[in-house]
Amino acid sequence: MAEAYIIDAVRTPVGKRGGGLSGIHPADLSAHVLRSLVARTGVDPAAVEDVVWGCVDAVGAQAGNIGRTGWLAAGFPEHVPGVTVDRQCGSSQQAVHFAAQAVLSGTSDLVIAGGVQNMSAIPIGSALRGGAELGFPVAYGPGCGSTGWQERYGDEEVTQFRGAELMAEKWQISRDDMEEYALESHRRAVAAIDSGHFTDELTPIAGVEHDEGPRRDTNKEKLEGLKLLREGGRLTAGVASQISDGAAALLIASEQAVAEHGLRPRARVHHMSVRGDDPVFMLSAPIPATKHALAKTGLRASDIDVVEINEAFASVVLAWLQEVDIDPARVNPNGGAIALGHPLGATGAKLMTTLLSELERTGGRYGLQTMCEGGGTANVTIVERL
């Protein structure tokens, strides 16, 4: 049976908005992790068959196939192609899926997957807003101009903020619940940094050696003092993921490539799937996606040693925890995007990098990664540590 192995994974520290990575061109952020990955694995870059790269808001410096330009900016061979994937927040997790699927199918033996995002330079939603001057003020929802969409979903507001609020309402998650969760995310992230949990997975850049997002002085009183994101709602910026910059990359190889290039795998890809849910709720898909993945593999939630679920909003994770019977201590044990940041197109690969490190640190066998995505979808990846 064919296998897809993860040889290694590396990421930049995650920079906060306007922070140490904000002035770095996305191609150069990409190039940095690509060079680091090649150096760490010792693989011949000429043997790489494709670069599958996640990125959202592919405009400006992120346009023109950043998966290709990042590879070229790294100084690597021109004959190696690249492609850019946009599955919204799950873009680089999907990039890992595509890379592994190429290996499992026998189409390729050696593929790099990853992603990049500079949200400081190119704000979230730039691609959506860029359509306004062409006569498309919104992509979907009221005024989108799609007859099919309007007939199916009417004039429902479709935004991540409304989706997070809808989830808080449906699963009866209070503002206090979300603020307590956010505090724990910062506490875990700070503890992980101080304990060196991220050290081996990071490749410092531009003088930035650690994730810039975690706030050591965050407390309940500060969170309680934040304004609501919308009148009558429950969410504040303190329970949402941070706007961030960063990049991450993984090397995926077949059994033949492992032997030919003398590589040492860290993990094997055990399962990959993606499922959809209500696009108006938008952020709820990790729940059915996780249930599908567990049913497909025959694993129980108790078999999963570490979970990385993206903290787009606290309500996303808290609702997931209500539906998936797993020890919360195994979920985002080193903090999540509320504290560590969410560089959109890079987050999937970033979470996978941290998942591998945590499995190795704790001696766990199975790790599960999932994340909500624009449009109401969610990827799930299960890996087995070797």
Judge whether 275 and 285 are in contact, CB under 8 Å. Answer: yes
The β-bridge relationship of strands 50-54 and 83-85 is: parallel
Structural tokens at position 105 = 């199918």
Judge whether 43 and 14 are in contact, CB under 8 Å. Answer: no
Q: What is residue 98's three-state secondary structure?
A: helix
Residue 149 exposed, middle or buried by CB count within 10 Å (0-12, 13-18, 19+): middle
Q: How far apart are CA 187 and CA 174, in angstroms?
A: 20
DSSP letters spanning 211-230: -S---TT--HHHHHTSPBSS
Residue 12 is classified by DSSP as: P
Q: How far apart are CA 265 and CA 258, in angstroms?
A: 8
Active site positions, annotated: 89, 342, 372
